[in-house]
Structure 1
Amino acid sequence: MNVKFDPNNVVIKLCMSGMRLEDGGNTEDAIMMFHKAWQESTDDYERFIAAYHLARQQKSITDKLKWMETSLQCALNINDENVKSAYTTLYLNIAKCYEELCDSDNAKRNYELSNSYKGAPSDEGPFYHGTKADLQVGDLLTAGGNSNYKPGLKMNHIYFSANINGAGLAAALANGDGRERVYIIEPTGEFENDPNVTDKKFPGNLTRSYRSQEPLRIIGEETEWAKLTTTERREWRENLAKNKGGIIN
């Protein structure tokens, strides 16, 4: 099963709505929204995400454990690179539940499983970078550019994604007046999960977003991806303007 994170997926949109209600202090409606996401889930990928959010909202540790283990089982059923980054988080949350239930053997086993999935990403791509800059094959993209999301901030890393639509979104939101471009790139050195998205809204790094301090080499250009409508572009810009969270640079 090859799955890709899609912000327009019905279940993901329901979970995002639930998180907005949660941020506004409206926990009861948030839980209802996460239950709706669970009920409307049609495959293991959607069930894995909905169960994770339901788990977070449980007051009882046994209920939290039940939903977190359900989320993990769905993730394991998928066995896909897109969700492997979530294993560390899921096993860690399960270990904490067992610890609170004074089940030290299961806690220890799950902490060890969580640690076994830590480390550098094993994603093999292909990788993409979205921008409005007019570049050529062979050019190098380097860190030190201005942030598209926070004025005046110089970025210590160069960012990229294995999700072409994620790169397309970055191109749409990039500074400049040029046309939106999505380049196929290859990292020239080590890279890590982007901490600005990893475990922030969803478990792990479902958007397969990465960053590196080493240059990215352009090896081609992509022309087909899901383009934003004018309304969607405006909504993204408004949401970014409202976002008060700091950027991990």
Structure 2
Amino acid sequence: LPGADHPLFTVPEGMMGVGMGIHGEPGIHDAPISSADELAELLVDALLKEVPQAVSALSGQRLSVVLNGLGGVKYEELFVVYRRVAQQLTAQGLTIVEPEVGELVTSFDMAGLSLTLFWLDEELERFWRAPANTPAFRKGSMTVAEPREECEFNVEQDSIPEATPASREAAQCVAAALVAARDVVVANVDELGRIDAVAGDGDHGIGMERGVEAAAETAASMLERQAGAGTLLQRAADAWADRAG
């Protein structure tokens, strides 16, 4: 994790982590580094053991395949793995529809890949085949919309609703509670990260710290502007959600 002084976990020399998460969550187990064919067989075998209940029999089923490089695998290597994936699925009587092989979901410094089997029905296949044009994914051909010459934006005024004296008094109590929460979280950032790293990516402490500090700052600002408890809570919650990530 950026800023940490030790890795979340390590993989021994000559081994590979199997079942790792896209955010760096530890794998299910380590296994010796295999050939491309062996890796394809491991992935396909594991996924075919968890076929959805709606798929009564493999033969004749239509599916798509997403073989995703996590950032540190060359495209040539991905295609070598896909070759064996396709062979295995075809041997099971499955029909592959418009597979995707490439870097679709990546992670920092991650040398690895993931395999997704996407089981299709008539409606899903129509959507899967449809053209798409987004910043991160393009498929087929779409008619590009003509840009508008003028755009109008309505910016809401940052007004504070009038509050009763009782509500403003309650707002002071809420703000004090957020300050107390901030102090506890800041004092335990490292422990929250350590707990998260057991099965996650280890950033929970940092996220909580950013969120609670933003909430406490916003609460203080709301008190200065004579906001009531409801307004303070809503603005503090928005600030937490925006800053925590």
- Normalising by the smaller structure, the TM-score range is under 0.3
Q: Could you say which structure has the larger radius of gyration?
A: 2
* TM-score, normalising length: structure 2: 0.22
* TM-score, normalising length: structure 1: 0.22
